[in-house]
Amino acid sequence: MKHALLCSCIAAALSLPAWAQDVPADTPQPQPPAEKKPPSDEAAARLNQVVVTAVPLGQSADQLVTPVSVLEGAALDDARAASLGQTIANLPGVSTSAFGQGVGRPVIRGLDGPRVAVLADGVGSADVSAVSQDHAVTVEPFLADQIEILKGPATLLYGPGAIGGVVNVVDGRIPQSAPAQGLAGRAQLQYDSVSDGGTGMFRVDAGNDRFALHADGLKRDLGDYEIPGRTLPNSYVRGDSGALGGSLLGDWGYLGFSVSRFLDTYGNPAEPGDAEEGEDPVHIGMAQTRHDLKGALVAPFAGVEKLEFSATHTDYRHTEFEGEEAATTFTNNSNEGRLLLTHAPLGGWRGAIGVQASNRDFAALGEESFVPPTRTRTFGLFATEQREWGRLKLELGARGDRESSTPEDGERRDFRPYSLSAGLAWRFDEAWHLTANLDRAQRAPAEEELYAHGPHEASATFEIGDPDLRKETANQLEIGLHHHGEWVDAKVSVYANRYDDFIYLADTGEVEDELPVRLWSQHDAKFRGAEAEATFHLASNDSGHYDLKVWGDRVRATFAGGGNLPRIPAARVGAELSWRTDAWRASLGATRYFAQDEAAAHETTTPGFTLLNARLAWNFANGERTGWEAFLAGDNLTNQTARLSTSLIKDTVPLPGRNLSIGLRGWF
């Protein structure tokens, strides 16, 4: 490990962020001592009780009709990566856009960009990662308590930008309660061989029944990563992030505030430069400052169980450099407010109504400002209700939004997207239940889809928007079957989604300014898919607990008149054998990515490959309130050349080769 990195990681783990120096640290979220890696069957039971914070009424994943996955505990520890997309990419139905090792936005059932809302504790990330694949998400997975993925249209709760799904990273930067013993924390150091770099983090929470305080920090320094046969130039990532927060607590609820900072510098591996030709490499420098106010009132007046509110102000800027020269600067100043009222039961119905408003001033300035400065305003009203009749549960929802988009020196566009949802769950015995979801959701075009025109060197494209694009409409039907038993937990779902006026970035086959021309276009489309997973509890005895997990997913996306949509994930199957005792846990897994030869016009195909991964962790020196864990992880152990069909730069930038990670976690 680089000596400078080691010193930085230790400093990050042992001290608060150096706010005066404007270099916050980067850190994953701690786990309380009470959650010390329970046996696999207990972990499965606990997962079904984990509250999904992205939906109202305080329900667990197993209680929801909406398809949802939750990554937390030891599973989250094993999955943490430098990008949010890569962290959750091994969940059925979820993949990543993959633009190098530190940049990857979630892709849900073949949908990405502005169709997938990325949230930090229920509020939008307020970055520009949806504008282009080379822009990093400003939400740090190493700092997450849990990550919640809502699959399918989630526009009812989070607006038209969530027509494809929601990824909510719960980081606890605004405490809603104090640690049980008054003080809790976590620290981690990790080294990755594939980049000869690593990550260090810390988190501390303190308080009592009247107040709570939070601090976290993280530092990351990853060098150019190795791929089979060579090192990929200009693929480094260096980042710092951190936050300070505090809350007033009481029987009445809570009121909290936090300030966070995200700094990131990373090379663009698609633009490594050429010294002989006088071409400089392209890299990105990114900074975001975020202020969050959040609170809840318990039973503030008759008929209301809870009143929750949040307000966020974000200042974001990133600059794309060619060598030392600034080429294009992206800025995004945004405000978002949200109010959610959970009412008392009415005639057997439970539910919530809410209002959400935001304003966003976005600009891309410089030689390659391919999107004009644009002001976007949104306002939405929504309601969700549910009722149970014995073994039957019905969920209903509706939302209406007003959205306007005004480019500089251009004509304003106004949109009125509406969404409706109905879900039914039938528990026909204690182990089995069937779900059905029917959704109609609409989305207004994003700024880049409407107004882009010009070269974007960082993503190696010449993009052309269409200011006359219409709003798109999704009509989705999904059927799911779930089983929870002593020997096996399993679920399978199939879905079909018909899009009217689907917006997509089409390859034209033309070249301008030595860049491929891609045109924002609109056409009716169909998405069909299936995903399944099953965990078999093979044995539980004195030697430990043994589980076998198998899973797979597949999505097919075509235009209504024929032809394939671009950048659709390849079909996958995976299996993982795991073992756990009180002190040890280990796993060995493989994921097979099939060839993606159902490519769009002018799009290259991707061959199939298999990724072999292994994990080993040892819990030692555990006291009543403290614990340590040493871990070793191996990814892509057979050193496969892996190219994701979801990536714009798949032909020149494969995934990292063989990687061994070693690290140490401690908590108190």
Question: Lowest mean pLDDT: which of 32-41, 228-237, 437-446?
Answer: 32-41
Q: Is the pLDDT of residue 517 over 50?
A: yes
Q: What is the mean pLDDT of residues 237-265?
A: 97
Here the CATH number for the domain that contains residue 268 is 2.40.170.20
pLDDT of residue 47: 46
- Contact between 576 and 589 (Cβ < 8 Å): yes
14 is in which domain, residue-wise?
Answer: 3-29+185-667
User: Is 80 a member of any domain?
Assistant: no
561 or 608, higher pLDDT: 608
- The tokens for 9 are 């990681």
The DSSP result for 333-388, as a single string, is: EEEEEEEEEEEEEETTEEEEEEEEEEEEEEEEEETT--S--EEEEEEEEEEEEEEE
Q: Is the pLDDT of residue 304 over 50?
A: yes
pLDDT in tens, 115-131: 999 999 999 999 999 88
In whole angstroms, what is the distance from residue 475 CA to residue 336 CA? Answer: 28
User: Is 77 a member of any domain?
Assistant: no
pLDDT of residue 14: 32
CA angle 333, 337, 341 (to 5 degrees): 165
In whole angstroms, what is the distance from residue 390 CA to residue 15 CA? Answer: 53
User: Is 211 a member of any domain?
Assistant: yes
Q: What is the mean pLDDT of residues 490-518?
A: 90
pLDDT of residue 5: 40
Question: Lowest mean pLDDT: which of 72-86, 179-193, 336-350, 621-635?
Answer: 621-635
- The tokens for 509 are 């086959």
pLDDT of residue 546: 98
pLDDT of residue 327: 85
Q: What is the mean pLDDT of residues 630-651?
A: 96
- Contact between 112 and 166 (Cβ < 8 Å): no
User: Is 25 a member of any domain?
Assistant: yes
User: Is 252 a member of any domain?
Assistant: yes
Q: What is the DSSP letter of 75?
A: H
Average pLDDT, the chain: 89
- The tokens for 479 are 């059927």
pLDDT in tens, 581-631: 999 999 999 999 999 999 998 899 999 999 999 999 999 887 777 899 999
Q: Is the pLDDT of residue 153 over 90?
A: no
Q: Is the pLDDT of residue 334 over 90?
A: yes
pLDDT of residue 61: 82
pLDDT of residue 28: 35
Instruction: Specify the number of domains making up the chain.
Output: 1
pTM of the model: 0.90
User: Is 141 a member of any domain?
Assistant: no
3-state secondary structure of 61: helix
Cβ-based neighbours of 639, under 8 Å, separated by 6 or more: 228, 657, 658
User: Is 47 a member of any domain?
Assistant: no
pLDDT in tens, 358-414: 999 999 888 767 889 999 999 999 999 999 999 999 999 999 999 999 999 888 999
User: Is 430 a member of any domain?
Assistant: yes
